Structure 1
Amino acid sequence: MPADIAAAMKRADAALAASDLVGSALAAGEFAPDFALPGVDGVPMRLSRALADGPVILSFYRGGWCPYCNLELRAYQALAGRMADAGVRLIAISPELPDHTAATVRDGGLAFDVVSDVGSEVARAYGVAFDLADELRPLYTRLGHALPDRNGADWVLPVPATYVVAPSGEIVLASIDTDYRSRLEPADAIDAAAAAAPGWRRAA
C-alpha cells in the first residue's frame, strides 16, 4: 500500500477509535430494531420473521471489496453445518448495492442470507455507521473502492459489528470494533446464539 494512503488510514483509524461510536451503539440487553432488507434475489428479509424461527446472528460488514470482511464471511460459511445444527440463522449486512452483494455471495460460495442496507439506515439504527473521513475518500477511489458507486449512496460504512439476537428480539451479545481488522470469532457468535435459545437446536 502506498505510504501516503497508509498514513492517512492510520490517522482516520485513530480518530474513529477516539470517537464515542462504540459506546453509543446498541448493546447487549437492548432490543434489536426490526428491519426488512433485500437479499440477492430481491426478496426482503425481515428480522422479526427470521427470529420466529430461532436466534439470529447479525454481521455488519463493509463490503465485498474488503478482504477482512470476506475472510469473516467465509469463516461463517465453513461453520454452516454447525449453525444449522444449533438452529441459528446468520444475516450478513452491507451497504452495497444488490449486484455487488450477489457477487460477494457467488465468489464466496455463501449459503446464508446476505442483504443490502443501501443508505445504511439499518446500520444507523444500530449505531454502527460512520462517515468515511474526507481525507480517505480520494484515496479509496485510487484503490478502486469508490463507495458511492458500489453503495448507490454516500461514503457511509459500518464498523465491524456482530449482534446475537434471541428469538425475543433481545440482543444477548454485541461486538463492535472501530478496527476493521478485528472481528468476533464466528464460533463464539454461534455458541452465544445457541445458548440464547437451546430449544431451537435441531434434533440429531
Structure 2
Amino acid sequence: MPSARVRLSLMSLMIGASVLASGCDSGAKQGEAAAEVKKEEVVKPAPKEDVKAEPAGSAQAQDKVLGAALAERAAASGAKRSAEAAAVMQAAEDQLAASGILERAINVGDVAPTFTLPNAAGEQVSLAKLLEKGPVAVLWYRGGWCPYCNLTLAGYAAAGKEIMEAGGTLVAISPELPDNSLDTQQKNELEYQVLSDVGNAVAKQYDIVFELPPDLAKMYNEKFEINARNGDTSNSLPLAATYVIGQDGKVTWAFLDADYKKRAEPSEVVAEIRALAGTAASQ
C-alpha cells in the first residue's frame, strides 16, 4: 500500500494534470474566440455597382463590334500582304492625307449639296424629300468589293433601325452601278437604302473624290475590277465619309479620314440623329 507521501505526490500530479488540461481547454476556447473576432474584422468587399448591359442589337453594342472587326481585318490583311503591296498602299494613303482633301471636303456647318440617286431597285431617292421627314445620315463607302466597307455596312444594320425609330433616315452611297449595289445590299441583308452615285457625281460636289495612284489603281483593277464595277475608267473613289444632315440642309456632324480602314462609329451617328430629332420635336 502506498505511503502517505506517495499518495500526496500522486494527488499533486493529478491536480497538476487537471489544471493543465483546464488551461489548454481555456486557451483553445480563447483561440477560437480570437479567430471569430478576426473573422468579424475582415473587411467585406464593397458591392459592385449595378451596371446595365447594352442591348446586344443596339448601336452602342454594335459600334464596339465594328471597331474590333475593322482592326482585326486590318491586322489579318497586313500579315498576309507583301512588302511591295504594303508600300504601295501606304504611299497612296500618305499622298491622299497630304492632298488637302480633308480640308476641302464638305464639313460641319456647310450646306449639304442636294442629290437624287437611284437605289438598288432603280427607284430615285431624293435627299430633299428625305429631309422633309427628318435628319439624314449619309454613309459613303468605296464599293462591295471592299471588305472594310462590307463590315461597316453590316455594322450599321442596328443603327439604321435606331435612326429610323428616332425619325431619321440612313442611306449608303457608292460609285458602283445599281446592279452591284443590289448585290451589296442583299449580301449584307441591309434594310436601309443603298444608292448608286455613278461617276462619283455627287461625291464630287462634297469634294470627297480622289484618283488612285497608277500602281494602286492597277492592283485594285486586277484584283477587284473596280472600273468594271463602277462603269467607268476614272480609277476614282470617294473617301469613306459619313455625314449627318439636319432638316435645314446643313451638315451637323461629319467623319472624314484618309485611312479607309477607319470608319464612323454607329453610336455617334445615332446619337446625333436623336439629338436633331429631339430638337425638332421641341420646337
Match of residue 13 from structure 1: 93
Q: CA RMSD in A?
A: 1.3
Match of 2:267? 187
Is this contact kept in 1: 2:160–2:169, CA < 8 A? no
2:236 is matched with 156
Higher relative CO (Cα under 8 Å, sequence separation at least 6) belongs to 1
Matched, 1:49 2:129: yes
2:202 equivalent to 1:112: no
Q: In the alignment, residue 16 of structure 1 is paired with which amino acid?
A: L
Alignment deviations for residues 168-194 of structure 1 (CA, whole Å, 9 cap, x no partner): 111001111110001110110111122
**Structure 2-normalised TM-score?**
0.68
Structure 1 CA distance, aligned partners of 2:161 and 2:214? 42
**SS class of match (1:119):** helix
1:174 corresponding residue in structure 2: 254
Q: What is the match of residue 4 of structure 1?
A: 84
Contact 2:164 2:170 in 1 (8 A): no
Give the number of the structure whose residues are more often helix, by fraction. 2
Residue identity in the other structure for 1:64: G
- Equivalent of residue 225 in structure 2, options 146, 169, 172: 146
1:38 and 1:199 mapped to 2: Cα distance? 30
Structure 2 stretches lacking a partner, 5+ long: 1-80
Contact 2:163 2:273 in 1 (8 A): no
C-alpha deviations, 1:12-66, integer Å up to 9, x for none? 1111111100000011111111101100111111100000000000011100111
Within a 5 Å distance, the mapping from 1:37-116 to structure 2 comes to 37-116=117-196
Shift of 1:200: 6.2
Query: Distance in 1 between the 2:243 and 2:162 partners?
Result: 18
More strand by share: 1
Please state whether the residue corresponding to 2:259 is helix, strand or coil.
coil
When normalised by structure 1's length, the TM-score is: 0.94
| 2:255 aligned partner, one-letter code | S
Task: Tell me by how many angstroms 1:80 deviates.
Answer: 3.2
C-alpha displacement at 1:8, in angstroms?
0.6
Distance in 2 (CA, whole Å) between partners of 1:109 and 1:177 is 26
2:268 & 2:151 partners in 1: Cα distance? Answer: 16
In the alignment, is residue 128 of structure 1 matched against residue 208 of structure 2? yes
Deviations 1:138-180 (A, max 9, x none): 111232x122101001211011100000011110011111100
Q: How many residues align structurally?
A: 200
Displacement of 1:199: 5.6
Query: 2:135 touches 2:273 (CA, 8 Å); kept in 1?
Result: yes
- The answer as to whether partners of 1:40 and 1:101 remain within 8 angstroms in 2 is yes
Where in structure 1 are there 5+ consecutive unaligned residues? none
Q: Distance in 2 between matches of 1:147 and 1:101?
A: 13
> Percent of counterpart pairs with the same letter?
40
Greater Rg, structure 1 or structure 2? 2
Distance 2:165 2:183 in 1: 27
Amino acid at match of 1:157: L
- Structure 1 residue matching 2:133: 3-state secondary structure: coil
State the 4+ residue runs in structure 1 displaced beyond 3 angstroms. none
